[in-house]
Amino acid sequence: MILKGVGIGRGVAVGPVLRMAEPLPEPKDEPRDASITAEAENERVTAALNAVNADLNKRAEEAANGDDGQKQAAEILQAVAMFAADPSLAANIKAKVDAGATGERAVLDGFGQVEDMFRAIGGYQGERAADLHDVGQRVIANLMGLPAPGVPESDEPFVLVAKDLSPADTTALDLKKTLAIVTSEGGPTSHTAILCRARGIVAVVSAAEAIDLKDGEQVIVNAAKGEVVTEPTAEQVEEAHEAKAKADKAKELRGQPGQLADGTRIPLLANVGKPSDAKVAHEYGAEGVGLFRTEFLFIGNEQPPSVEEQTKAYAELLSQFPGKKVVIRLLDAGADKPLPFLTPEDEPNPALGLRGLRTLAQHKEVLEGQLKALADADAQTDADLWVMAPMVADEWEAEYFTKLGKSFGLKFVGSMAEVPSIAVMADKVAQVTDFVSIGTNDLTQYTLAADRTLGSVSNYQTAWHPAVLRVIKMICDAGREHGMPVGVCGEAAADPDLAVVLAGLGVNSLSMTPVALDDVRAELASHTMEEARELAAKALDGDFYKPPFWTED
């Protein structure tokens, strides 16, 4: 039997199932014993919340000193720990205790209300509901005097199967024993998926039927195919081991330049979110940075960082890539990244509202502050700095930003292609800007009118759709005609098979999460440009695309 899900990475694993422990018993919905005062019960709840907050922050500190995947997990753990310190949530729980509930029931209902709200929002926020639920369960376990939920002990390597995993559990996994992870819930943007990708763990998430897997049952987890094979035959196990060997062999090319089998160069770059991520990019053989997100400097602040603060951060990143290409994207505020000092409140449709360059153009002091800081950092370092604006819609916006960037002394100034209109006008855009970098996540969202934050239309979030590929081809054709480089820095670049198609369409460079570099490098090396173009032609015709409403005759 084959269970379908969403694969994380390209790895393959074979081994016995080990299920997560059963959840805690649900606290009874009955009045608190009259002899226990609300004050005493609230003190008990506060102590439990504080204990869980302290434990998660301690785990975050320990993870910060671990491997690179654990370091990424440290930030997630710190964010999750804040649930246990949220004053509004604590006030809601207190109100329930004051009304006569037990501490355990008040915590269950208080956390549950926020979980339901997150799930109703869906998408990325919906997947945070699992993190919130885990924190609530830890608080309840503390109140009950029971061990916190977690991964069971095992002397033998195992395939961990769970409804979903918390960041704390994923961080604590022993990689010497964890062959793979399979979850029945979650999605490609859940913290389980993010951390599995960061730690290089083979995983298939959102495999609904995995809930029926039993302890000790032998399975094959194939992330490349997004499937779990139960009760595999000897032949299937052998094929899985061969696929695993092929996946492991991809690491042997690490450090070599990205290129096709005929020597056609396709530079492979890394997407990074802060200067400290450079270490991971180097480890996986990145040839530079194709997307450095500057949001980390702005999010969580009440006002923009100073030019001096920004210059220091940009110079810290650039200094780690002497002589190499580093593409820095200006602040992409709005939509799912609102900022109190920039973006409007209560926009009815923020994904189609004031975001990206539109926001920056209305806040010239922020825009020009970033450009000055980038120019100052460039003058202090030896990297090959390229700067681009997010959400550029046409040649007028492209020309506006390119001229402005060059007035600050920046050498290479370009545009992010996330709106289909820039592809329609690509022949004009290519004549007024230095380069275009395609953000496939938003380009897919806008091409297919499917909000990337909504789980209800997640089936449309694939750059394999021929409409998306045709939009990309329009940009590549214009780039080729006018000598303008075209890169891809969206999630599509991290798909090894799609990376070959993108090369065949005319994309000049690919940028991705560092752990995807090995597989993409190996896949590119197994195809010539002629073969890549043949695959691209088939993809443009929809040969590799399965529609959401596809049914077998």
Residues 293, 331: contact at Cβ < 8 Å? no
Residues 17, 179: contact at Cβ < 8 Å? no
Backbone angles phi, psi at 14, to 5 degrees: -130, 130
Residues 496, 520: contact at Cβ < 8 Å? yes
* Dist CA 127 CA 288 (whole Å): 31
* Dist CA 128 CA 159 (whole Å): 24
* Dist CA 149 CA 114 (whole Å): 20
Half-sphere exposure of 390 (CA within 13 A, CB side): 27
Give catalytic status of residue 196 as yes or no.
Answer: no
Give catalytic status of residue 191 as yes or no.
Answer: yes
Of these residues, 133, 191, 465, 527, which one is catalytic?
A: 191
Of these residues, 133, 465, 489, 527, which one is catalytic?
A: 489
* Dist CA 521 CA 514 (whole Å): 11
Three-state DSSP class for residue 522: helix
Written in H, E and C, the secondary structure of 3-63 is EECEEECCCEEEEEEEECCCCCCCCCCCCCCCCCCHHHHHHHHHHHHHHHHHHHHHHHHHH
In 3D, which of 195, 161, 200 has the Cα closest to residue 59? 195
Residues 158, 98: contact at Cβ < 8 Å? no
Task: Say which residues have a Cβ less than 8 Å from residue 173's Cβ, sequence separation at least 6.
Answer: 151, 160, 181, 199, 201
Of all helices (H) and strands (E), which one includes residue 384?
A: strand 384-389
Task: Say which residues have a Cβ less than 8 Å from residue 4's Cβ, sequence separation at least 6.
Answer: 207, 226, 227
Residues 221, 182: contact at Cβ < 8 Å? yes
Q: How far is CA 149 from the centre of its chain?
A: 25
Give catalytic residues, as residue numbers: 191, 489
